[in-house]
Amino acid sequence: MEKKNVDWANLGFGYMPTEWRFVANYRDGKWDDGELTQDATITMSECAGVLQYAQTCFEGLKAYTTEDGRIVTFRPDLNAARMSDSCKRLEMPVFPEDKFIEAVEKVVAANAEWVPPYGSGATLYIRPFMFGINPVIGVKPATEYQFRIFCTPVGPYFKGGVKPLTLTVSDFDRAAPHGTGNIKAGLNYAMSLHPVMEAHRNGFDENMYLDPATRTKVEETGGANFLFVTKDGTVVTPQSDSILPSITRRSLMIVAEKVLGMKAEQREVLFEEVKDFAECGLCGTAAVISPVGKIVYKGGEICFPSGMTQMGPTIQKLYDTLTGIQMGRLEAPEGWIHEINV
């Protein structure tokens, strides 16, 4: 199969429509079978639930070309399960998890020419999403929904690739206590737009959000979880009910402990103790693992010993192992790699 003629090495994280997407509709209390379509547009009522009351959630995963030329995805079952959790919290109908995985397989296989070649530095980002489509004017859930999956080839999420990031501690919260921070609701990202633009206007790459109840504990950024490394080499990630349970982070904790034999802890992380860590990184599907060099807050700044030019050694080891598993260079734990039959 011929790959598309794309300058893979210079892709940023943007939308480049590919030929095929999947669409299924929920009406009269059930999902239809769904189908692949070339139509990238959606026509809906001006009063659609998604437009009026933001009834929408989404997922994000990637397809990779392995060293031996296979096309694979990484733990799509966890994206299917997390989307079910998002739907339940937003009073949306669950799209069956086995059908979710089948739809991912169909979209990726149909767009195989768009899966960037091994070693190109790019990957195919897959975006499943669902929204309320029928008219809703009183505040209540829609009765009709559309589930879609499109994909787009992407490069690094943060400009500058693996150059360490500078963060600032946001004055705003991205989630409420007992709110929707732990699901992938579009509304969480709408909440984060003003804070992230403020961060950019002030010269920072991203925000660190603190826990909304006490503002003393580290939560996450707008699109990635935190990983810290202590001076004695323990990997630490924040525990909180209002952060998104990142599949990358959950996988990295297993990689750290089971593959690399390191100590790994998920626990509450006080902002006060961040200055004592040796390394810091952001992890997520889009972010992969992006190193953080500096965090600026009111009254000071924290400069990690790993510096502003490269990843720290532990974050680098985690990055190499995770991407090695995803690209088929290293053996994966059972069930992590889902091959797509093209």
Q: How many CA atoms lie within 13 A of 43 on its CB side?
A: 1
Q: How many residues bind ligand PLP (CB under 6 A)?
A: 12
Q: Give the nearest distance from C-beta 317 to ligand PLP in angstroms.
A: 18
Indicate the pairing of strand 21-27 with strand 145-154.
Answer: antiparallel
Single out the segment in contact with ligand COI by CB under 6 A; choices: 25-33, 146-154, 165-173, 279-287. 279-287
C-beta separation of 126 from 62 below 8 A: yes
Q: Give the nearest distance from C-beta 147 to ligand COI in angstroms.
A: 17
Distance CA 208, CA 321 (A): 26
C-beta separation of 278 from 305 below 8 A: yes
The number of beta carbons lying within 10 Å of the beta carbon of residue 41 is 4
Nearer to ligand COI, 40 or 190 (CB): 190
Q: Is 165 in the site for ligand PLP (CB under 6 A)?
A: no
Contacts (CB under 6 A) with ligand PLP, residues 52-71: 60
Binding mask 265-284 for ligand PLP (x = CB under 6 A): -------------------x
Distance CA 148, CA 212 (A): 32
Distance CA 82, CA 183 (A): 7
Nearer to ligand PLP, 23 or 81 (CB): 81
Contacts (CB under 6 A) with ligand PLP, residues 71-90: none
For residue 63, CA distances in Å to 9, 37, 66, 262, 266 come to 16, 19, 10, 28, 28
Q: Is 286 in the site for ligand COI (CB under 6 A)?
A: yes
Q: What are phi and psi of 77, to 5 degrees?
A: -60, -30
Indicate the pairing of strand 300-303 with strand 123-132.
Answer: unpaired
Catalytic residue, candidates 3, 30, 163, 184:
184
Binding mask 202-231 for ligand PLP (x = CB under 6 A): ------------------x--xxx------
Active site residue 184: yes
Binds ligand COI (CB under 6 A): choice among 76, 284, 312, 328? 284
Q: Which residues are catalytic?
A: 184
Site residues for ligand COI per CB under 6 A: 60, 223, 284-286
Site residues for ligand PLP per CB under 6 A: 60, 220, 223-225, 244, 246-249, 284-285
